Amino acid sequence: MCPTSPRRTASPSVAGSPSVGVLALQGDVREHAALLAHLGAEVVLVRRPEELAAVDGLVLPGGESSVIDKLSRVFGMQEPIRSAITDGLPVYGTCAGLILLADEIADGIEGQESFGGMDVTVRRNAFGRQVESFETELDAPVLGAPMVRATFIRAPIVERVGAGVEVLAALEDGRIVAVRQGALLGTSFHPEVDGDSRFHELLLERVRIRADERGR
């Protein structure tokens, strides 16, 4: 599914074009790449450690979290990503990407691992099968108006947040679906599907902050 036209167009977030990777092992890589390119980023499809080392930020796309986990080990990407997260690389995970950022997975399959970095517990497939996918509107005060049109596809939820984690959005019943901790950002839903660029803009803003801190 291709994204619709983004709802907002960001001004450049860093001097020149920031280099933002999309982990391209499995999942909805194309949608993220298109949205980031629209925002003026130089998009790199990341499959190897040397490609990861060259980017200023990273997107972990939706897909199958267990498959991405396994492939990251096959391609030698697990430890480099973990190290990059520890080093402060700005990372945004959607759906499966959020699961991969979680320090704890409540119901992972046997042997499943995550990259970690975010002090949250996430439950996979919290809303059931793909046929039970749905759309709704969410209030995310950090983004301002309008409300976020959110598409949930076999989505996870955040069951626990640590003291350093900021809740950005929740469903009406209180279930948490968007979080941020330092340079890490995660959503249960897929803004790239609906063409809402604002979460990706938050990622680019964090890229700019890190570049400023490093004197670039």
Alpha-carbon distances, residue 181 vs 73, 125, 169, 191 (angstroms): 25, 22, 14, 19
The amino acid occupying position 162 is G
Going by C-alpha positions, the residue among 111, 60, 44, 116 that lies closest to residue 83 is 116
Q: Which residue's structure tokens are 């076999």?
A: 154
Catalytic option among 192, 200, 201, 213: 192
Catalytic option among 95, 113, 200, 213: 95
What is the sign, positive or negative, of the torsion defined by CA atoms of 140, 183, 185, 45? Answer: positive
CA–CA–CA angle 126, 181, 206 (5° rounding): 120
Query: Catalytic site residue 190?
Result: yes
Q: Is 190 exposed, middle or buried (0-12, 13-18, 19+ CB in 10 A)?
A: buried
77: tokens are 């990407």
Going by C-alpha positions, the residue among 44, 20, 3 that lies closest to residue 183 is 20
Taking the C-alpha atoms of 23, 27, 185 and 143 in order, what is their torsion angle to the nearest 10 degrees? 120
Catalytic option among 2, 79, 113, 190: 190
Q: Which residue's structure tokens are 């989505």?
A: 155
Query: Catalytic site residue 95?
Result: yes
Query: Catalytic site residue 110?
Result: no
Annotated catalytic sites, by residue? 95, 190, 192
